[in-house]
Structure 1
Amino acid sequence: MDATLRDPLLGRLLDGRYRIEERIALGGMATVYRGVDVRLERPVAVKVMRAELAGDSSFVERFIREAKTAARLSHDNVVGVYDQGTDGDTVYLAMELVPGRTLREVLRERGPLSPREALDLVEPVLAALGAAHRSGLIHRDIKPENVLIADDGRVKVADFGLARAVSTATTASTGGLVLGTVAYMAPEQIQQGTADTRADVYACGVLLFELLTGRAPRDGTTPVRIMYQHLNEDVVAPSALRPGLAADLDALVLAAAARNPQDRPADAGEMLAALRRVRAGLADAQLDLPAPVRDAVPQARPAGEAVSDGAAVPDGDAAPGGDAAPGGDAAPGGELGEDRAATGGRSAPEGVPDGADSAASPGSEAVTATGHAPDAPTTVVARSASLPVAGGETHHTRPVPTLGTAGAATSGPVVPTAPAGPRSLARNPLTWVLAVLLVGVLAVGGWWFGVARYTTTPAVLGVERAEAERLLDQAGLSVSWAEAYSENVPAGLVIETDPEPGGRVPSGGEVTAVLSLGPERVTVPDVTGRPLEQARQALTDARLVPGTEREEYSDSVPAGSVIGTDPEPGQQVRPDSPVALVVSRGPAPVDVPDVVGEPLLQARQTLEDAGFEVEVAPERVSDTDVLAGAVARQDPSGDGPAPRGSTVTLTVSDGPETVEVPDVVGRSVPEARAALEEAGFSVDVVDLRPFGDGSVQTQSPEAGQRARQGSTVRLFAF
């Protein structure tokens, strides 16, 4: 039966939000699924932690803290972290789903790239790391599997903030082991278990070397051999493996991959600036140097890859059942591969026996790991410096590689073209004596490097700084301090050490201790009166989440602006807490008084008392029903509501309409009456005809005056 059919998470809805649709990758840390955010209706990648990690409360707390830190890192070249949560016993991350493939798949398919292509791929990786380093975040696990190339050509860096959380959990459960991919780990990560921005720079230098040459600079067949090379051998110039590469490219790689951290660029931003200077100084012919035929470049499987049972793949790096990396076929029993010829490796350097390729020296922790192959889990290697370092210390000299007649690098011992035939130890007793002596020397060396020069980190969790310093000083250890917020540990007490209590640390070495700042709280900003979008941004800038929104009427806050928040401004809350917003709808509507027919002054007072502004129209109108000086019209009318504070326009009456009085003097009474009535007047005749001929002698109002239609004109006739 297909394993996916037995996966209980398929079809499940995590936290009522993320529907799990398809398993797309298995790894030593987590299983990655394709899912859907049903709330926002968008595809997501859901990374579900392994049960043994999810059951570790200290891991979960650190994982949540690191995930939040990564989520705050917003950059175009970083795979976004959308959400983190727990659903029962399931601890998960919801992340951006990037359709495409990993850089490892590109290397497997194409081998070495042109310098232009290599720089085009490393530049966005450095840009992403530069943003992280400026924010105080270190990746710790840069490798081709964690560089994604989207279908649209965008380059994205994955798993920010996760390596530290997982490495601590793994250390606690494996007795002093650190997590990482050996081929890309900086020497200080291997020897001291510490990492800063320059460890990421080192990994980028190794990555650029691999893109230019088609192989990693460390060619050991086991993690132990590769760790030895990290500690004791300088990286060769890429041009030693690929003649024709520009000297500036060699210099960039060698500076980034220097064994001494002080010799590297300080952070990714500094390396990015150096990369851009190198690119600007190269001619097109140098940038577009054709990739060599793949058979001309040693196509070893990725350095550090060991053969395993094939049961796991890196977190998010390959789908179940995917192709194995070249040379990475599974072997029964999970034995570590020892065939140097298959990887183009050199013989073991002086001080490392041939058998060191398959086992750690005496006294070291077990090496339970593979390298960085896409179908192998991320490597777990011994934190203790159980690898012999030539001369008793790490040297930082960098010999200049020379080219032999065939163009291959000739620094270091040369691998014979054919293995010498085996000799019988029984025929030479001296060989037995030397072998016994060698075993004794190795046993003593292993005891020293693996046990004797180490001490145990004292338990200082939960104590004050002064007491922690005293205990560490008694153990012969120095301390560097960091600070972090904690919901559980009061301010001023130690919440974490690296290595953890009981972990191994070189005698006289340094322990990093983290002092609690107490619960982290942020202040709810005062966004009252701000437009809604500005208020949302202010909450986001304060590391809060804009919450629910409801509308209310307000006489003092304009519509669309914020009336208040819940919690109220000034309150202290946890980061990422939701803050509800009350948004103004403007003033509440009120009924408009009807003032038509009222004198203007009285009408104005009535409207202003009701909360309205009053405006008088400049033109008056005639109205037969409204006296002059009274309100003839209003807008809005007095038959409905309007927002309080809005304006009501009043139009004043000029009284009834008037017409000019016709001149009827001298006319006969019937003629005069007809003319006046036609003009709209009533007629009143005072007849004095016994004293005259009966014509109109006078009229009132007089001719030419204006009078209201319907009014009476008096005629005097005699």
Structure 2
Amino acid sequence: MARNIGSRYTAHQILGRGSAGTVWLGEGPEGPVAIKLLREDLASDQELVGRFVQERTALLGLDHPRVVAVRDLVVDGNDLALVMDLVRGTDLRTRLDRERRLAPEAAVAIIADVADGLAAAHAAGVVHRDVKPENILLDMEGPLGPGGAHPALLTDFGVAKLIDTPGRTKATRIIGTPDYLAPEIVEGLPPRAAVDIYALATVLYELLAGFTPFGGGHPGAVLRRHVTETVVPLPGIPEELWQLVVQCLAKAPASRLRASELAARLRDVLPLLAGIPPLDVDEPDAEPTSEAQEEDPYPTGAAPAAPRRAAVPLVPGASPDSNRDTHTSMRVPAPDELAGGPLGTARAPRPSGARRPGSARHKAEAVRKRRITLSIAAIVVAGALGAGGYLATAGDSDVAPQDSKTSTQP
């Protein structure tokens, strides 16, 4: 059903839903547009509306081929909307869900496009703050690039900044998507351009591996991994590409490349990637989700195939969010939690092939070891009792049976 958005635009049908609002196919004075209608609770926040209007100049000023342009911002009654260019295609998450992982050449070509868009935004003083596959669109009508990749454009600039206002969040809260959050955000520092580089490198890793480097399990565990763990290497790609990934996933923001440098370096390694198929990488184990699983993950004795590590719901009672569209507010962990407090204990690098402590398989192995130990102990005790009875009767064979009984008489 069509609805008017302000006096200049008409929304005809829903194209998709996200954490911040609903995207509609619309029509404006200059033709088809995409209209992102923000959630009603955002539209009713007068402080947010004021900030929305203040950000108008910055958002409208982002003009780059690799950025989905914002044409207009509409504030009309309960409607708060961004009017954007219509990209005829799909988002990167949809392609990942379909293909699981991409060939390195196509993955690098897509990320190089996005890095170009980020470079333009950072030069204009704008930090995206929520780079993830859902916010990367693939233009199916554009010319194919290396590896058959469609042109990639970054969208939803400014939405994270708009939502993260002083009146809506506290200094001890985090705005973002757990899998893609830079360590400095987890530690409560203000977001700078380097957080976008970290998130983009996380997306590149996900395109290559099929999973994010630090994702999976409880959000608190994900946040801690960003701060304490090192990225697991990916076999089968040139060392030059791997070093780029490692550098852009550095814990220290100053160690990461700038967006323009990343785009140039990625295009330098593209010739090395031609013909390399998608990587064959084992996915990490999923974390147990209940006390019953922790006690006996495989009560029938047969261990099922390890499920794919994915996002978990951040709102109690909500269904798991397979698209990781979890842009939300979370508490900043305290230093002792990151080092091994209530959220868990910090872990030293484990030997190659060893199970991660706390994983379903690790706990299953522990359960099986406990059962074996108890069985052996039972056998030993039974044997000892049997042997003791034998020695008692054999050693006193000349004693009459009645002498072996305990008398109750005085």
- TM-score relative to the length of structure 1: 0.43
Per-residue CA distance 1:35-57 (angstroms, 9 max, x = gap): 111x22x1111111222111111
CA distance in 2, matches of 1:250, 1:342: 26
Q: Secondary structure in 2 aligned to 1:380?
A: strand
Partner of 1:129: 118
Partner of 1:479: none
Partner of 1:13: 4
- The offset of 1:192, in angstroms, is 0.9
Partner of 1:256: 248
Letter of the 2:2 partner, please give it.
G
- TM-score relative to the length of structure 2: 0.73
Change (3 A) 1:263 1:21: same
Alpha-carbon RMSD: 3.6
1:281-680 alignment, distance < 5 Å = 282=272, 286-292=273-279, 297-298=282-283, 341-343=306-308, 373-374=322-323, 376-385=325-334, 388-390=337-339, 404=353, 413=357, 415=359, 416=361, 418-421=364-367
Of 143, 156, 167 in structure 2, the residue corresponding to residue 159 of structure 1 is: 156
Letter of the 1:128 partner, please give it.
G
CA distance in 1, matches of 2:321, 2:285: 13
Change (3 A) 1:109 1:205: same
Change (3 A) 1:390 1:132: same
- The offset of 1:421, in angstroms, is 3.2
- The offset of 1:30, in angstroms, is 1.4
CA distance in 1, matches of 2:178, 2:8: 37
- Determine if contact 1:223/1:369 at 8 Å carries over to the other structure: no
- The offset of 1:412, in angstroms, is 5.8
Letter of the 2:264 partner, please give it.
A
Per-residue CA distance 1:489-524 (angstroms, 9 max, x = gap): xxxxxxxxxxxxxxxxxxxxxxxxxxxxxxxxxxxx
- Determine if contact 2:211/2:309 at 8 Å carries over to the other structure: no
Structure with the higher strand share, 1 or 2: 1
Change (3 A) 1:268 1:175: closer
- Determine if contact 1:182/1:381 at 8 Å carries over to the other structure: no
- Determine if contact 1:54/1:60 at 8 Å carries over to the other structure: yes
Q: Secondary structure in 1 aligned to 2:55?
A: helix
Partner of 1:211: 207
- Determine if contact 1:182/1:372 at 8 Å carries over to the other structure: no
Structure with the higher helix share, 1 or 2: 2
Which ranges of structure 1 fall in alignment gaps of 5 or more residues?
A: 1-9, 307-338, 346-356, 361-365, 393-398, 405-409, 428-718
Partner of 2:26: 35
- Determine if contact 1:127/1:268 at 8 Å carries over to the other structure: yes
**Highest Rg: 1 or 2?**
1
Q: Secondary structure in 2 aligned to 1:342?
A: coil
Q: Secondary structure in 2 aligned to 1:118?
A: helix
CA distance in 1, matches of 2:336, 2:305: 19
Change (3 A) 1:61 1:75: same
CA distance in 1, matches of 2:64, 2:103: 26
Letter of the 2:255 partner, please give it.
D
CA distance in 2, matches of 1:358, 1:297: 20
Partner of 1:120: 109
Change (3 A) 1:358 1:90: closer
CA distance in 2, matches of 1:288, 1:341: 30
- The offset of 1:377, in angstroms, is 3.9
Q: Secondary structure in 1 aligned to 2:367?
A: coil
- The offset of 1:16, in angstroms, is 1.9
Partner of 1:100: 89
- The offset of 1:249, in angstroms, is 1.6
Q: Which has the higher contact order (CA 8 A, sep 6+)?
A: 2
CA distance in 1, matches of 2:317, 2:190: 20
Partner of 2:264: 273
- The offset of 1:163, in angstroms, is 1.1
CA distance in 2, matches of 1:208, 1:403: 24
Partner of 1:76: 65
- The offset of 1:178, in angstroms, is 2.4
- The offset of 1:292, in angstroms, is 4.2
CA distance in 2, matches of 1:370, 1:262: 38
CA distance in 1, matches of 2:318, 2:263: 32
- The offset of 1:60, in angstroms, is 1.1
CA distance in 2, matches of 1:126, 1:291: 22
Which ranges of structure 2 fall in alignment gaps of 5 or more residues?
A: 142-149, 290-303, 342-347, 375-410
Change (3 A) 1:74 1:300: farther
- The offset of 1:185, in angstroms, is 0.6
Change (3 A) 1:387 1:50: farther
Per-residue CA distance 1:359-401 (angstroms, 9 max, x = gap): 99xxxxx989998732744233213537712279xxxxxx999
CA distance in 2, matches of 1:359, 1:120: 32
Per-residue CA distance 1:61-101 (angstroms, 9 max, x = gap): 22223343121010001111010121222111111111111
Change (3 A) 1:367 1:193: farther
Letter of the 1:253 partner, please give it.
V
- The offset of 1:245, in angstroms, is 1.5
- The offset of 1:246, in angstroms, is 1.3
Letter of the 1:217 partner, please give it.
P
- The offset of 1:168, in angstroms, is 2.0
- The total of aligned residue pairs comes to 341
CA distance in 2, matches of 1:223, 1:370: 15
CA distance in 1, matches of 2:367, 2:58: 57
Partner of 2:381: none
